[in-house]
């Protein structure tokens, strides 16, 4: 079972109203929520840890978790509101404005979890929860608790417009990427974190700081991976893009599910990665993400929708 830890929110997506005025429609989202849903729909046993509101949107998020078969028994319920993300689209490319003041997700605390963390299970972290406080500190502490005994993966999913204390955020992502066995970054995230330059040496810098596998996504081009002295590339699946919401999140689930299918989702097994393992994982990530970009909101695919 993979444990996904981070934000569940509502993406408000622009819709042309019949009157011609602007309107927004709610879709279940949050980077880590999307990864959890995608993993379960790809057939991997999945648990989700977050601060979940009991409001109308929280109930909708919980219903989506339930319908997708995600174990949500460790979510912290509260009457605080659900975090909202207002999305603008330019040629399908999403930009986000987040509203997380005093929300159930932002106020998440490890000590409020109804059951103890699942030590020993693979854990996934990321998203805007690593920017805000107090949840950022809570997820970092949870990662520090599980990382010595369990495989961990991080996708910081960097949203520069949302970061207020850049020095503190850079320090946190530096500590968490050094703790993680698998680091995923988009090419834009890689340059925001590591500066300008060729992708390969920047990715290898992350390997030198402790990661065993680094995945770099390049939008419509596809995705690359770096491990040991090796590298692999899988081209994106060409599709008609509706919106890119959840592309990277679904890709992450494909990578985790692909590694699990090859028996590589433990710290020890990750040391013995082969090109076939990584190509299988990248290819599942790329194919699943292509379905996500081809429909509205994140809404990741089930395994039987990949054909
Ligand atoms: N236009 C596209 N056509 C086909 N596949 C795409 C397209 N855009 C993205 N993808 C797939 O999704 C993967 C992740 O996309 P991207 O690099 O944009 O990640 P990201 O920036 O983390 O995404 P997001 O933050 O929107 O979730 C890509 O590697 C690719 O496989
Ligand atoms: O949770 C995050 O970090 C997000 O960026 C969430 C977005 O609103 C969206 O659901 C996924 O990219």
**Each residue of 281-301: pLDDT tens digit?**
999 999 999 999 999 999 999
> Distance of CA 100 to CAs 51, 86, 96, 155, Å?
12, 11, 12, 20
Residues at CB less than 6 angstroms from ligand 1: 94, 157, 186, 217-220, 222-223, 236-237, 239, 241, 244, 246-249, 251, 286, 289-290, 293
56 close to 84: Cβ distance less than 8 angstroms: no
| Dist. CA 155 → ligand 1 center (Å) | 13
State how many domains the chain has. 1
| Dist. CA 247 → ligand 1 center (Å) | 4
Q: Terminus-to-terminus CA distance in the chain, angstroms?
A: 25
> Distance of CA 76 to CAs 6, 138, 209, 215, Å?
12, 12, 33, 31
* CATH number for position 11: 3.40.1190.20
pLDDT > 70: what percent of the chain? Answer: 99
Residue 15, pLDDT score: 84
List of residues 6+ apart from 252 with CB closer than 8 A: 35, 38, 124, 126, 153, 155, 184, 285
When pLDDT is cut at 50, 70 and 90, the band that residue 126 belongs to is very high
Residue 19, pLDDT above cutoff 80: no
Which atom of ligand 2 lies at the shortest distance from residue 85's CA? 8
Which atom of ligand 2 lies at the shortest distance from residue 126's CA? 3
pLDDT > 90: what percent of the chain? Answer: 93
pLDDT digits (tens, 9 = 90+) for 43-87: 999 999 999 999 999 999 999 999 999 999 999 999 999 999 999
Strands 222-227 and 213-217: antiparallel
71 φ, ψ (degrees, to nearest 5): -70, 115
Nearest CA to ligand 1 atom 6: 220
Residue 160, pLDDT score: 95
83 close to 61: Cβ distance less than 8 angstroms: no
- Lowest mean pLDDT: which of 21-25, 118-122, 198-202, 243-247? 21-25
Residue 17, pLDDT score: 64
134 close to 103: Cβ distance less than 8 angstroms: no
CA pair distance 184, 35, nearest whole angstrom: 12
Positive or negative, the Cα torsion across 252, 191, 158, 148? positive
Residue 16, pLDDT above cutoff 80: no
CA pair distance 115, 261, nearest whole angstrom: 28
| Dist. CA 94 → ligand 1 center (Å) | 11
Nearest CA to ligand 2 atom 6: 30
| Dist. CA 82 → ligand 1 center (Å) | 26
Nearest CA to ligand 1 atom 15: 219
CA pair distance 154, 129, nearest whole angstrom: 12
- Lowest mean pLDDT: which of 14-23, 223-232, 289-298? 14-23
In a domain, 271, yes or no: yes
Residue 22, pLDDT score: 80
| Parent domain of 250 | 2-300
In a domain, 57, yes or no: yes
Residue 219, pLDDT score: 96
CB < 8 Å & 24+ apart, contacts of 90-99: 91/241, 92/241, 92/242, 92/243, 92/244, 92/293, 93/244, 94/243, 94/244, 94/245, 95/161, 96/11, 96/159, 96/161, 96/162, 97/161, 98/9, 98/128, 98/159, 98/162
- Mutation test residue for ligand 2: of 85, 105, 163, 185, the one with most atoms within 8 Å of CB: 85
CA pair distance 59, 36, nearest whole angstrom: 17
Q: What is the mean pLDDT of the chain?
A: 96
34 close to 250: Cβ distance less than 8 angstroms: yes
CA pair distance 136, 33, nearest whole angstrom: 16
Q: Give the closest ligand to the alpha carbon of residue 30.
A: 2
In a domain, 307, yes or no: no
pLDDT digits (tens, 9 = 90+) for 163-196: 999 999 999 999 999 999 999 999 999 999 999 9
Residue 91, pLDDT score: 82
pLDDT digits (tens, 9 = 90+) for 236-259: 999 999 999 999 999 999 999 999
| Dist. CA 244 → ligand 1 center (Å) | 6
Nearest CA to ligand 1 atom 21: 186
- Lowest mean pLDDT: which of 20-29, 81-90, 210-219, 241-250? 20-29
Residue 166's Cβ-count burial label (10 Å; 0-12, 13-18, 19+) is exposed
Residue 299, pLDDT score: 93
Q: Give the closest ligand to the alpha carbon of residue 9.
A: 2
Dihedral angle at the C-alpha atoms of 25, 66, 52, 138, nearest 10 degrees?
A: -120
Chain centroid, CA 169 distance in Å: 17
Which atom of ligand 1 lies at the shortest distance from residue 290's CA? 5
Residue 174, pLDDT score: 97
CA pair distance 254, 83, nearest whole angstrom: 26
In a domain, 305, yes or no: no
Cis peptide before 26 (omega within 30 of 0): no
Residue 305, pLDDT score: 94
In a domain, 161, yes or no: yes
Residues at CB less than 6 angstroms from ligand 2: 7, 9, 11, 29-31, 34, 85, 96, 127-128, 157, 159, 245-246, 249, 298
| Dist. CA 217 → ligand 1 center (Å) | 7
């Amino acid at each position: 079972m993979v444990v996904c830890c981070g934000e569940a929110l509502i993406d408000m997506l622009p819709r042309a109203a019949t009157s011609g005025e602007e309107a927004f429609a709610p879709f279940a989202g949050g980077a880590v929520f999307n990864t959890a849903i995608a993993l379960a729909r790809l057939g991997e046993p999945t648990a989700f840890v977050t601060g979940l509101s009991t409001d109308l949107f929280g109930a909708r998020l919980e219903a989506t978790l339930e319908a997708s078969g995600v174990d949500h028994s460790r979510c912290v319920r509260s009457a605080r509101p659900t975090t909202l993300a207002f999305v603008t689209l330019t040629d399908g490319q999403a930009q986000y404005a987040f509203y997380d003041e005093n929300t159930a997700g932002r106020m998440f605390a490890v000590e409020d979890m109804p059951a103890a963390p699942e030590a020993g299970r693979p854990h996934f972290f990321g998203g805007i929860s690593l920017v805000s406080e107090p949840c950022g500190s809570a997820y970092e502490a949870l990662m520090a608790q599980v990382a010595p005994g369990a495989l961990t993966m991080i996708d910081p999913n960097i949203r520069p417009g949302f970061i207020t204390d850049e020095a503190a955020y850079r320090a946190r992502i530096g500590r968490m990427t050094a703790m993680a066995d698998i680091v995923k970054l988009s090419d834009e995230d890689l340059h925001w974190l590591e500066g300008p330059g060729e992708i390969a040496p920047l990715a290898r810098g992350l390997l030198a700081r402790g990661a065993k596998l680094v995945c770099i996504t390049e939008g419509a081009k596809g995705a690359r991976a770096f491990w040991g002295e090796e590298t692999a590339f899988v081209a994106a699946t060409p599709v008609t893009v509706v919106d890119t919401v959840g592309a990277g999140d679904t890709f992450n689930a494909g990578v985790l599910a692909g590694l699990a299918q090859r028996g590589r989702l433990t710290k020890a097994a990750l040391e013995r990665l082969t090109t076939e393992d990584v190509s299988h994982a990248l290819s599942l990530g790329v194919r699943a993400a292509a379905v996500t970009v081809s429909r509205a909101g994140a809404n990741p695919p089930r395994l039987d929708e990949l054909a």
